[in-house]
């Protein structure tokens, strides 16, 4: 079977036990299938990404016993590719400029007539403040851009769907058919200020260009997958198989964060733990 998967960390802090779990699981699954494991660096947010974190990622993953082909893809090298995809969507009348801040969105979404703000995969669902009634014409502006979700969904000949071989946070598995994305997801940002593209757009293009057949990642990204599948349809890209895995939590049940240094792989290493011990602490 053709099997290519990837681990795509952002170099914004030290890798922790949750990253180790994700990377080792993807690596093991690729090995078991006789497939390939790729490493990709998600470094679009240049204000938060640092070369020393990237060096630490390579070092920690090699220490865990993982290997991957060179060269490693960097998202920061791919801005023209992301721009071309935005242009394709713009030409279809699916994007509009919007410079609302997060605070603007929260305020508009919780305006009295709107009721309590509804949360989607990207936080508060965009209340549509800047959405035009007809698609904007003319050249694509160099501004933050949002996807007109209602128009996008209406353009598809069939609703998006994907196969989940792991499970979502509520046990979702098998063939997943997202519903009512205009309301439950809303107009997601596809070009963000200072970043060229949003995570959703870049991940979809990277996975397609790297011929990823299996996306293995944490359940925190399950709800974003419907956006990825929709973008694949709009951009005529293949949909990989998705495998979302459980999250590693701390003793009070909170998901580990980058700042959670106690569970950084580097901390375990400095305490003299072995890669096998890390596997067993992570429950692999
Ligand atoms: N850079 C993303 C993260 O660390 C990768 C997400 C993905 O695997 O799609 O959450």
Concatenating the DSSP letter of every residue in 98-150 gives ----HHHHHHHHTSGGG-SPPEETTEEPP--TT--SS---SSPPSS-EEE-HH
Ligand 1, atom 9, lies closest to the CA of: 203
How far away, in angstroms, is 41 Cα from ligand 1 center? 9
Helix/strand/coil for 230: helix
Provide the whole-model pTM: 0.95
263 CB less than 6 Å from ligand 1? no
Helix/strand/coil for 172: coil
203 CB less than 6 Å from ligand 1? yes
119 forms beta bridges with 124
**Contact between 275 and 17 (Cβ < 8 Å):** no
The predicted structure's pLDDT at residue 1: 64
Ligand 1, atom 4, lies closest to the CA of: 9
The predicted structure's pLDDT at residue 192: 87
Structure tokens at 237: 């890209």
Q: What CA–CA distances, in Å, run from 216 to 62, 65, 203, 219?
A: 19, 18, 13, 10
The predicted structure's pLDDT at residue 259: 65
Ligand 1 mutation target, pool 210, 221, 224, most atoms within 8 A of CB: 221
Q: Which residue stretches of the chain have pLDDT < 70?
A: 1, 257-260
In the sheet with 214-218, reading across from the earlier edge strand, the strands are 174-176, 162-164, 241-245, 214-218
Tell me the pLDDT of the chain averaged across its residues.
94
Q: What CA–CA distances, in Å, run from 236 to 67, 85, 233, 258?
A: 31, 11, 5, 34
Distance CA(191)–CA(205), nearest Å, equals: 14
**C-alpha 265, offset from chain centre:** 22
**C-alpha 112, offset from chain centre:** 32
The predicted structure's pLDDT at residue 162: 98
**Contact between 11 and 46 (Cβ < 8 Å):** no
How far away, in angstroms, is 111 Cα from ligand 1 center? 33
For 217-266, how does the pLDDT look when each residue is reduced to its tens digit (9 = 90+)?
Answer: 999 999 999 999 999 999 999 999 999 999 988 777 777 766 667 789 99
Phi and psi, residue 220, nearest 5°: -60, -20
Question: All domains of the chain, ordered by start, with CATH?
Answer: 1-77+248-284 (3.40.50.620), 79-239 (3.40.50.620)
60 CB less than 6 Å from ligand 1? no
10 CB less than 6 Å from ligand 1? yes
CB atoms within 10 A of CB 249: 12
Handedness of CA 237, 240, 242, 243 (dihedral sign): negative
221 CB less than 6 Å from ligand 1? yes
**Contact between 16 and 56 (Cβ < 8 Å):** no
Ligand 1, atom 5, lies closest to the CA of: 8
Ligand 1, atom 10, lies closest to the CA of: 9
């Amino acid at each position: 079977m053709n099997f290519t998967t990837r681990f795509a960390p952002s170099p914004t802090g030290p890798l922790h036990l949750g990253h180790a779990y994700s990377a080792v699981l993807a690596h093991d699954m690729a090995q078991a299938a006789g497939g390939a494991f790729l490493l990709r660096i998600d470094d679009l947010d240049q204000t938060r990404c640092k070369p020393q974190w990237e060096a630490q990622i390579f070092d920690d993953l090699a220490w865990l016993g993982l290997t991957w082909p060179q060269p490693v893809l960097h998202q920061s090298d791919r801005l023209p590719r992301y721009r071309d995809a935005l242009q394709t969507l713009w030409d279809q009348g699916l994007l509009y400029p919007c410079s609302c801040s997060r605070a603007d969105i929260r305020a508009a979404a919780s305006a009295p007539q709107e009721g309590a703000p509804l949360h989607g995969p990207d936080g508060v669902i965009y209340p549509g403040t800047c959405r035009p009634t007809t698609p904007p014409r003319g050249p694509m502006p160099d501004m933050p851009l949002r996807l007109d979700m209602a128009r996008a969904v209406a353009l598809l000949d069939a609703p998006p769907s994907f196969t989940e071989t792991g499970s979502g946070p509520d046990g979702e598995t098998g063939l997943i058919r997202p519903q009512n994305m205009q309301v439950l997801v809303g107009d997601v940002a596809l070009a963000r200020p200072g970043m060229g593209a949003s995570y959703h757009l870049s991940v979809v293009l990277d996975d397609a260009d790297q011929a990823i057949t299996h996306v293995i990642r944490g359940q925190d990204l399950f709800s974003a997958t419907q956006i990825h599948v929709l973008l694949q349809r709009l951009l005529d890209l293949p949909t990989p198989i998705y495998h979302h895995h459980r999250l590693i939590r701390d003793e009070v049940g909170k998901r580990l964060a980058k700042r959670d240094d106690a569970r950084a792989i580097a901390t375990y290493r400095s305490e003299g733990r072995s890669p096998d011990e890390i596997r067993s602490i992570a429950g692999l």
